Structure 1
Amino acid sequence: MSRAAGYVGLAMLAALWLLPLPGLLGADFPHHMLRHMGLVAIVTPLLVIGFPGLAAPFAFSPLLGAVLEFIVVWSWHMPGLHGMADAGGLALVAEQGSFLIAGLLVWAGALRGGAPLAGAGGLLLTSMHMTLLGALLILAPRDLYAAICGREPDLDAQQLGGVLMLGIGTPIYLVAGLWLTARALDMGKAEA
Structure 2
Amino acid sequence: MPSLSIAALLLAVLAQPARAHGLSDVDARSLWSYDPWLLSPLYLVGIAFYVGTQRLWRQAGGGRGVSFRQVTAFWTGWLVTALAITSPLHWLGERLFAAHMVEHELLMVVAAPLMAYARINGPLLWSLPASFRPAAGRFLNLVPVAGAWGFISHPVSVTALHGTALWAWHAPPLYAWALADSAVHRLQHVSFFATALLFWWVLLHGRGQGRSSRIRDGIAIACLFITILHSGVLGALLTISPRLWIPGQGALAGEFGLSPLEDQQLAGILMWVPMGILYTGAALFFAHRWLTVNDSHAPLAPIRHPG
More helix by share: 1
Give the Cα separation in 1 of the matches to 2:87 and 2:181: 16
Q: Which moved more, 1:90-99 or 1:159-168?
A: 159-168
Amino acid at match of 1:174: T
| Cα contact 2:159–2:199 (8 A) shared by 1 | yes
CA distance in structure 2 between the aligned counterparts of 1:184 and 1:22, rounded to whole angstroms: 38
Q: Residues 124-163 of structure 1: matches in 2 within 5 Å?
A: 124-146=225-247, 154-163=260-269
1:65–1:105 CA contact under 8 A, matched in 2: yes
| CA distance in structure 1 between the partners assigned to 2:114 and 2:250 by the alignment | 36
SS of the residue corresponding to residue 111 of structure 1 reads helix
Which residue is equivalent to 1:96?
189
**Aligned pair partner of 1:165 in 264, 271, 288:** 271
Among 37, 59, 80, which residue is 1:12 paired with?
80
Q: How much has 1:169 moved relative to structure 2?
A: 1.6
| Per-residue CA distance 1:61-104 (angstroms, 9 max, x = gap) | 23321111111110000000000112241111100100011101
- Offset, 1:107: 0.2
Q: Do the aligned partners of 2:98 and 2:267 also contact (CA within 8 Å) in 1?
A: yes
Mapped partners of 2:82, 2:116: distance in 1: 16
**Residues 33, 164 of structure 1: 8 Å contact kept:** yes
**Contact 1:63–1:118 (CA<8 Å) still a contact in 2?**
no
Q: Which amino acid aligns with 1:9?
A: G
Change (3 A) 1:70 1:146: same
Runs of 4+ in 1 over 6 A off after TM superposition: 22-26, 55-59
2:99 aligns to what?
Answer: 31
Instruction: Give the root-mean-square deviation of aligned CA atoms.
Output: 2.7
TM-score, with structure 2 as normaliser: 0.56
Residue 150 of structure 1: how far off its partner (Å): 9.3
| Contact kept in structure 1, 2:235 and 2:269, CA below 8 Å | yes
Matches within 5 A, 1:62-101: 62-101=155-194
**How far, CA to CA, are the matches of 1:134 and 1:82 in structure 2?**
15
The correspondence for 1:179, drawn from 285, 295, 306, is: 285
Structure 2 residues without counterparts, runs of 5 or longer: 1-68, 126-148, 209-215, 254-258, 300-307
Q: Cα distance 1:21–1:137, how it changes in 2: closer, same or farther (>3 A)?
A: same
Q: What's the counterpart of residue 62 of structure 2?
A: none
Counterpart residue type for residue 238 of structure 2: L
Check 1:22–1:69 CA distance in 2 against 1; reply closer, same or farther (3 A cut). closer
Q: How many angstroms does 1:5 deviate by? A: 0.9
CA distance in 2, matches of 1:76, 1:11: 24
Q: Residues 32-70 of structure 1, C-alpha deviation per residue, up to 9 Å, x if partnerless? A: 111111111111001011234369979822332111111
How many residues align structurally?
A: 191
* Residue 25 of structure 1: how far off its partner (Å): 7.6
Distance 2:94 2:106 in 1: 18
